[in-house]
Amino acid sequence: MEIISFKYAIPYLIFLGYLLALMIWEIVKSSRGQGIKDIQWLTIIGFVFFFGLRGFVGTDWVNYYPYFNNISLTFAWEQGFAIYTYLIHSIYPNYFFWVFVSSLINAILLHVVFKRYAKYYVLAFIVFSTFNGIIMEINLMRNIKSILFFLVSLRYLQERKILPYMLLNLLGITFHISSILFLPLYFVLHREIPKLYLWIMFAGGMIVFFLQIEYIKPILSFFADIIGGRLPEMVDAYFRDHRMNFFKLFSIGTIERIFSFVVIMFMRDKLIAQDKNNIIFINLFMIFFFICFYMAEANEIATRLSMLFVASYWILYPNILAATRKTLNYQLLLLFIVTLSIMRTSMYNSFLFRYDNVLFGIESFEKRKKLLHEHSDAGIIRR
């Protein structure tokens, strides 16, 4: 079996093409002042069909499948996720039913968020898929629920209603503990940070990132030496295994993030004038950006933390496009987004993401698990 092949990415590109066709239809209908409810329905149906009916795709099913089949309220993971899984198991004890329901709930929550905040509905789903949405939907079944609860809670942040905001994110914590980071954001996300401060932090991030300045390891090593034991050895091992690859300094991802920062900074006033809620997503993007550049030294930590805030892209890119309408920049930006979406979607070219669908027949758990284990030492599998 080929480990890497373009053919594995084809189903994802077909799904992207489906969304692109709906996006063009939405743009045409919106320009004529027509409603898009039919397009919204088709988007949700396509989303649930593609993700909700998937087979053993990705990597984390190897843990989720036996977890679901042997579910009990002993809470191997966070309690909310365990109760949620247990309830679905009680209704119909079939793993693929659980996956389907999970994707349906995700689609509904995304619909609520995108309908409320994104100026282009289908484009928001495209950007979602482009920026980590596919991997979240396929692998991170706990994380995505907690992130979506946070996005729903942003309504109450803007309205300054602390109780429902906190309750939704406390619910998110019961699905994934990382949601605890969302709690203090209630007090800062709605504030406009002076541009000068952001540009200064941008310059600092560039220096730390491109000069590969280490400061996290020395700090952790200092405290590890004080505590003693095996901790110093563990710190050294972590940074040895997760050090930043020099060649990633000038990757497409790095260039895209810098480009996005500059565009968002120059478009900030227009975005806020377009919708005051945009300041929340601008601030989320800034958190995402500074984590990527200031914490690149701890690459694994930076990747996991930044994923909590990548949702800023899902709203900002559609809204930036809407803000540039009737200008030459509109076509250029749309071309950029489509090209980036195709490029990033093409990266699902590993045999791990070889897509199949329960309606057309899937490979068994045992066969997929065997393949997974055979290649687990080849550097292909990354969590």
> For residues 165 and 157, what is the distance between their CA atoms, to the nearest angstrom?
6
| Residue carrying the six token digits 């710190």 | 235
pLDDT at 247: 45
Between CA 306 and CA 139, with CA 243 as vertex, the angle to 5 degrees is: 45
Which among 63, 57, 67 has a CA at the least distance from the CA of 88?
A: 67
> For residues 349 and 343, what is the distance between their CA atoms, to the nearest angstrom?
11
pLDDT at 244: 58
CB-CB contact of 175 with 149 (8 Å)? yes
pLDDT at 279: 97
CB-CB contact of 333 with 321 (8 Å)? yes
> For residues 129 and 204, what is the distance between their CA atoms, to the nearest angstrom?
30
| Residue carrying the six token digits 């687990």 | 376
Structure-block tokens of residue 358: 């329960």
User: CA 50 → CA 112, 188, 252, 273, 310, distances in Å?
Assistant: 20, 37, 27, 36, 22
Structure-block tokens of residue 248: 């990633």
CB neighbours of residue 201 within 10 Å: 16
| Residue carrying the six token digits 């990633």 | 248
pLDDT at 219: 84
pLDDT at 100: 97
Positions of the chain with pLDDT under 50: 246-247, 378-383
pLDDT at 380: 40
> For residues 155 and 173, what is the distance between their CA atoms, to the nearest angstrom?
18
User: Which residue(s) pair with 4 in the sheet?
Assistant: 350
Express each pLDDT in 304-313 by its tens digit: 899 999 999 9
Amino acid at 252: I
Express each pLDDT in 13-36 by its tens digit: 999 999 999 999 999 998 888 999
- 342, 345, 349, 355 alpha-carbon torsion, rounded to 10°: -120
pLDDT at 73: 66
Amino acid at 349: N
pLDDT at 162: 96
> For residues 212 and 159, what is the distance between their CA atoms, to the nearest angstrom?
41
Structure letter (DSSP) for residue 244: P
Residue 54's SS3 state is strand
Positive/negative CA dihedral, 186, 187, 189, 190:
positive
CB-CB contact of 145 with 180 (8 Å)? no
User: CA 14 → CA 46, 99, 357, 361, distances in Å?
Assistant: 11, 21, 14, 18
Structure-block tokens of residue 155: 């309504």
Look up the pTM and report it. 0.92
pLDDT at 383: 34
- Mean pLDDT taken over the chain: 90
pLDDT at 252: 85
User: CA 79 → CA 142, 179, 198, 368, distances in Å?
Assistant: 11, 14, 38, 29
